[in-house]
Amino acid sequence: MSCTKGLIRFPKNNIMEIHNSEFRLYLKSPEQQDADAIAELANNYNVSKELHNTFPHPYTRADAISFIDFAAASLADGTGLHLAIRIKGEGEVIGMVGLRIFSRNRSAEIGYWLGEKYWSRGYGKEAIRLMLAYGFEKLKLNRIYAGVFSHNERSMHILEKLGFCREGVLREEELKDGKFVNTVYLSILKREYKEKLRIEVKEIR
């Protein structure tokens, strides 16, 4: 194994898995054979409308392959950890969760999405908990934050249930579908995570 210039120690084959024995899900690096499944789930306006403009719509197989390559490169240079959300016993991709890492400040931005047919099952909450555990316990981060469109009450509710606190609003930060939208920023600190959410995670490389 090698150390990156950031915080992540990465496997030589650029594949990482994160598990908790009590969870229904696990996280694993996306691979080329996942491209069709990712594109099928992501090519949905109900998914893309809640995400920043870096998430394309329509979403093609080429977009999926580009993202898989980006995830591998981010892992290799230590600037990010972007993993596919998978159901135990099945292995099929149902969404994505990721950290964009700022090593100097030991902080990261978290983002996630799920295919629409997997909404309202608690999968998003489990995936975020796994990534928080890895970020705080393994990467030794101090702060993890998220930027959520102000109309996305579902996502803000999930984050707040996990202990995130609202920090503020950037007004009309992004032009989305021809309209300027506000972004609400929420964060959780390592000490808050330890008080409320701490779990054990197993890393497989």
Question: What pLDDT was estimated at residue 155?
Answer: 96
The conformation of residue 1, written as its DSSP 8-state character, comes to -
By residue range, what is the domain housing residue 120? 2-142
Question: What pLDDT was estimated at residue 4?
Answer: 41
Mean pLDDT on 140-155: 97
Secondary structure class of 57 (helix, strand, coil): coil
Question: What pLDDT was estimated at residue 7?
Answer: 47
Structurally, how many domains does the chain consist of?
A: 1
Strand positions, DSSP E, the chain = 2-3, 9-10, 17-19, 25-28, 80-87, 93-102, 107-114, 143-149, 165-176, 179-189, 202-204
Residue 158 phi, psi (nearest 5): -60, -45
Instruction: Please report, rounded to a whole number, the percentage of residues in the chain having pLDDT higher than 70.
Output: 90
Instruction: Please report, rounded to a whole number, the percentage of residues in the chain having pLDDT higher than 90.
Output: 82
Taken in order 25, 28, 32, 35, is the CA torsion positive or negative? Answer: positive
| Window from 44-48, 76-80, 143-147 with minimum mean pLDDT | 76-80
Question: What pLDDT was estimated at residue 31?
Answer: 96
Question: What pLDDT was estimated at residue 205?
Answer: 54
Cα–Cα distance, 154 to 145 (Å, whole number): 16
- Using the CB atoms, write b or e for 139-153: b if 16+ within 10 Å: bebebbbbbbbeebe
Please check whether residue 65 lies inside any domain of the structure.
yes
Contact present, 67 and 30 (Cβ < 8 Å):
yes
Instruction: Check pLDDT > 50 for residue 98.
Output: yes
Secondary structure class of 121 (helix, strand, coil): coil
Please check whether residue 177 lies inside any domain of the structure.
no
Please check whether residue 172 lies inside any domain of the structure.
no
Cα–Cα distance, 21 to 79 (Å, whole number): 28
Q: Could you report the per-residue pLDDT of 164-184, keeping only the tens digit for each?
A: 999 999 999 999 999 999 999
Please check whether residue 199 lies inside any domain of the structure.
no
Mean pLDDT on 105-127: 97
Instruction: Check pLDDT > 90 for residue 1.
Output: no
Instruction: Check pLDDT > 70 for residue 12.
Output: no
Please check whether residue 38 lies inside any domain of the structure.
yes
Q: Could you report the per-residue pLDDT of 33-53, keeping only the tens digit for each?
A: 999 999 999 999 999 999 999
CATH number for 114: 3.40.630.30
Question: What pLDDT was estimated at residue 203?
Answer: 62
Instruction: Check pLDDT > 50 for residue 6.
Output: no
Reported pTM: 0.90
Contact present, 14 and 76 (Cβ < 8 Å):
yes
Please check whether residue 24 lies inside any domain of the structure.
yes
Please check whether residue 182 lies inside any domain of the structure.
no
